[in-house]
Structure formats: C-alpha cells, structure tokens
Amino acid sequence: MELSGRIDYTWIVVLVVIDGVIASFVILQIRSREIQFGEVQVRLASRAKEEGSAGAGWTLASFDNGLVMQGQRQGPIVSFYLCYDASRQRYAPTMAEIQEYTRGFGVMRPVQTISATKGDPSARALLEQLRNQIGAKRARMVFQKRRPEKRPTVRAPSWIVGVTLFWPKWSMNADAILNGLDPIEALLDSAQRQYFAPAMAAG
C-alpha cells in the first residue's frame, strides 16, 4: 500500500499570519508603554534634580525632597528610598553615585523587611496606609545596610530605607506620582526614626 504524504500549506500560512499578528500586537503594546514612560519622565522632571538610567530597563530619578526613584520600563514595579551616611544623616546622592552602586549586586544587604504579613505591627499599619493611598496591589519596605567588603571603592550610602510598590495604579500617571512623592518621603522618614534608628546607632 502506498501512503500519500501531502502537506496542507493552508494551515502553515494561517499559523504564520496569527503569529505575526500576535507579535505585532506585543510590539505595539511595548512601544505604547515606552511612549507613556517617556511622557511620565518629562512630567517628573519638574521635581527631579537629576535623571539617568541604570540599564536593564530601569530608569532613575532623584527628587527635590531627597527621594530616589527606581522605575522599571517594562513592568509596574516602582521603588523609592532615602539614603543615610555613616553618621546616620540623611543626604541626597548624586546621579553618578546612584548609577555606581545600582550597577550589579552585593553593595547593600537587607537588614529588615516589612510587608503585609511581616514586621512590627505599627510599621505594617503605616505601610498599609501608604499602599491604600497609592493604590498598589502590594508594598514592601526594606531597611538595608552597606556591605563595605563588597566593592569597597563604590560610593554608596551606609543605610537605605526604601519602599517598593507593586502594580501601583498610577505607574503611568505622572501627576499621581508627583502627588505621591511627599507622602512616600514622609513614610520613609517616619519609619527611619521610629523603627530603624536603633539599628543604625548600633552599627
């Protein structure tokens, strides 16, 4: 018996067309988000002292109230933090310094993490209040310490108090981000004084 091995090219064409449509849609979505992110950056410049990029899809900004922002172009995750020197004084690092210590890993190590289920109850309540105000699905506050043995020549803060917001509703809304800068700064400043100052004093 002779078997016929006929190939139906119609289905191949259909699959190629569908794959092309999906790829085009994804590219358009990414491009649209890039344009939105660019517009957000322009608006944020009204309060940003310096702006820059750390690569790998992350963008950086240092604001007039001392906040440093790390935003991800391809994902709705935004981090804000305050920096403290060895004498436990708050300071605003330059963009060159920020870019220096955000490249790679290992310069800072987490000392304490506060989330919806972890940490001091009053600190968790403070974090939950900010999360609701911002409209993020999740929020996490992290207290970090400089690791002097790792890349010792890098200019990095001795301490960082930061908050990461996951899927905030305003991630592409510049006005909402601007309105949130001062509440975020107030939260981190309060958290440093209430919960992290003893650890800083202990070294």
- Tell me the residue range of the domain where 179 lies: 9-202
Residue 188 lies in a domain: yes
Query: What 3-state DSSP class applies to 79?
Result: strand
Tell me, yes or no, whether 173 lies in a domain. Answer: yes
Position 1 in a domain: no
Residue type at position 83: C
Instruction: Report the predicted TM-score, pTM, of the whole model to 2 decimal places.
Output: 0.73
Residue 84, strand partner residues: 90, 159
Q: Which residue matches tokens 């330059």?
A: 94
Residue 99 lies in a domain: yes
Q: Which residue has the tokens 């344009």?
A: 35
Residue 113 resides in a domain: yes
Token pair for 179:
């309105």
| Cβ-contact 135, 169 below 8 angstroms | yes
Residue 189, amino acid: D
Cα–Cα distance for residue pair 153/109, rounded to 1 Å? 17
Q: What is the pLDDT along the chain (203 residues), one digit of tens a residue?
A: 444 555 554 554 454 444 444 443 333 333 444 444 556 566 666 667 766 654 444 578 888 888 898 876 555 788 899 999 999 999 988 888 888 887 766 788 999 999 999 999 999 999 999 898 888 889 999 999 998 877 778 888 999 999 998 887 665 676 777 788 899 999 999 999 999 998 898 87
In a domain, 3, yes or no: no
Q: What's the total number of domains in the chain?
A: 1
Inside any domain, residue 123? yes
2 assigned to some structural domain? no
Q: Is 151 helix (H, G, I), strand (E, B) or coil?
A: coil
